Structure 1
Amino acid sequence: MSTTTMIVGGSAGLGLAVARQRVERGDHVIVTSRCEQRADRAAQQLPGPARGVGLELTEPRSFADALSEINRIDRLVLAATERGGAALPELNVDEATRVVTAKLVGYLELTRLLRPRFSAEASVVLFGGTAKDRPEPRSTLTTVTTQAVSGMVRTLASQLAPHRVNAIHPGAVGDSPRWASTPEPPGLARTPIGRLVTTAEVVHAVEFLLTNTGINAQDLHLDGGVTIT
């Protein structure tokens, strides 16, 4: 039986890159997006068996219906996020509620609903980010929610045992559309390796967390060492 990998937030960016790598290694892949049509388009461009599922992370009560046709999960990657940027004085309660619901309640409820469908060797990887360790004035919501990912990893690794749960915290990704054309991306000057990390490096790290059976309840920082500067 082929491995089934579900990538929440797999229709673009790092999530789509992970989806492509898993398809290329022979997995059946499920990619989600808040827009079902976008999820379907992403699945169609993958070079192997894949399908799309519409999933709105800010509406966790809708998850049960959206996941009703999924019977088995071997690998679960939670890569989706809800962006929000504001310093504390400009905090918008509606935006904050949306961001926290998506990243925290959404991740937890998805894991709760999918747990009965985990295979014996199933593993989970959550995406956080380096904002948890390097807060900036406008990263209030991002810092809070990515810091919470570390707490989720620990409690889920305990409650889902023997299934493994880990997190990856990428820094700025140099070849991503956001930074590829930026002459001086943030953090570049203080990155010990002298460059930003790449999409391929993030994908490789996710693969390591998914498949190395000895690593569990860990936060993997993939930032070229910028967090020590």
Structure 2
Amino acid sequence: MSSVVVVGGTSGIGREFARFRAGRGDEVVLTGRDAHRADTLAKEAGAARGIALDLSRPREIAPALADVGRVDHLVIAGVFRDDNRVAEYDIDAALRLVTLKLVGYTEVVHTLRPRLHDDSAIVLFGGQAKERPYVGATTVATVNAGVGGLVNTLAVELAPVRVNAVHPGVVGDSPYWLGKPEEVRAGLRARTPTGRLATMGDVVDAVDFLLRNRSVNGVELAVDGGWLLG
């Protein structure tokens, strides 16, 4: 049995991963911004417990994680969907996302570092907007590219702890994409070599692989069915 911490585990892929690992018998701690929701969803997922934690408020991260013990696997999946562009630049939204991804992610690792061990592994979440930006992705594309730099420096500084990133493309059955019109998803499928969009299960499997395989380190793994080739 492994001890697993999933930061951003109350929705989307983070929630699916927490449920997957709890179902496998691991001791899972998940976090979310709202204490009641984190506790409720932890019970539903079979996780050990839920913790309230807001990545965009990094000074509150250490106290929130104070009583977390040994960590075998750490997944930081918290995201914030920001629609920002230079023509109509929202500084507050940009600061929130930059803080959440680059400062918040780092502070989680900093806080939990004493509880990691030589065989621990970390997976950070980025996204393929870094490779295929769209109008409104000014901040999203920038911070997801920054996740790659963070992976590299953490893998060197924390060695032999392994650090990798997963960069999902369009995840067709995620709450966000299910809310899009079917013709939008169909158009994306048509431009993907596999003829299908990535699923949350695909991403969960990729994250689990990155955590398990002891020779994979400093890797940025795209999970998009070859979408960038379309």
Return the TM-score normalized by structure 2: 0.95
Residue 29 of structure 2 corresponds to 30
> 1:143 — aligned with what?
141
State the AA in 2 paired with 1:35.
D
Corresponding residue for 2:106? 108
Instruction: Tell me what 1:202 maps to.
Output: 203
Q: Distance in 2 between matches of 1:119 and 1:11?
A: 26
Question: How much has 1:49 moved relative to structure 2?
Answer: 4.2
- The answer to which of 166-175 and 183-192 deviates more is 183-192
- C-alpha distance after superposition, 1:19-72 (max 9, x if no partner): 0111111110011001111110110101x3420000011111111110111121
Superposition misfits of 4+ residues, deviation over 6 angstroms: none
Question: Is 2:19–2:47's contact at 8 Å kept on the other side of the alignment?
Answer: no
Please give the root-mean-square deviation of Cα atoms over the aligned residues, in Å.
1.2
Q: How many residues align?
A: 227
Tell me what 2:162 maps to: 164
1:178 Cα deviation (Å)? 2.4
The answer on whether the counterparts of 1:88 and 1:137 sit within 8 Å (CA) in structure 2 is no
Structure number with the higher helix fraction is 2
Q: In the alignment, is residue 211 of structure 1 matched against residue 212 of structure 2?
A: yes
Q: What secondary structure sits across from 1:6 in the alignment? A: strand
- Which whole-Å CA distance do the structure 1 matches of 2:71 and 2:151 have between them? 18
Structure 1 residues without counterparts, runs of 5 or longer: none
CA distance in 1, matches of 2:89, 2:47: 43
Partner of 1:18: 17
DSSP 3-state at the match of 2:177: coil
Separation in structure 2 between the aligned mates of residue 22 and residue 140 of structure 1, nearest angstrom: 34
Distance 1:59 1:72 in 2: 23
Per-residue CA deviations over 1:151-194 (Å, capped at 9, x if unaligned) read 11111101110000000001111112222363122632210001
Change (3 A) 1:152 1:26: same
Q: Distance in 2 between matches of 1:55 and 1:101?
A: 14
**Are the aligned partners of 1:7 and 1:79 in contact in 2 as well (CA < 8 Å)?**
yes
CA distance in 2, matches of 1:177, 1:66: 27
Q: TM-score, normalised by structure 1?
A: 0.96
Structure-2 residue corresponding to 1:70: 68
Which amino acid is 2:27 matched to? H
User: Which moved further from structure 2: 207-216 or 91-100?
Assistant: 91-100
Amino acid at match of 2:160: P
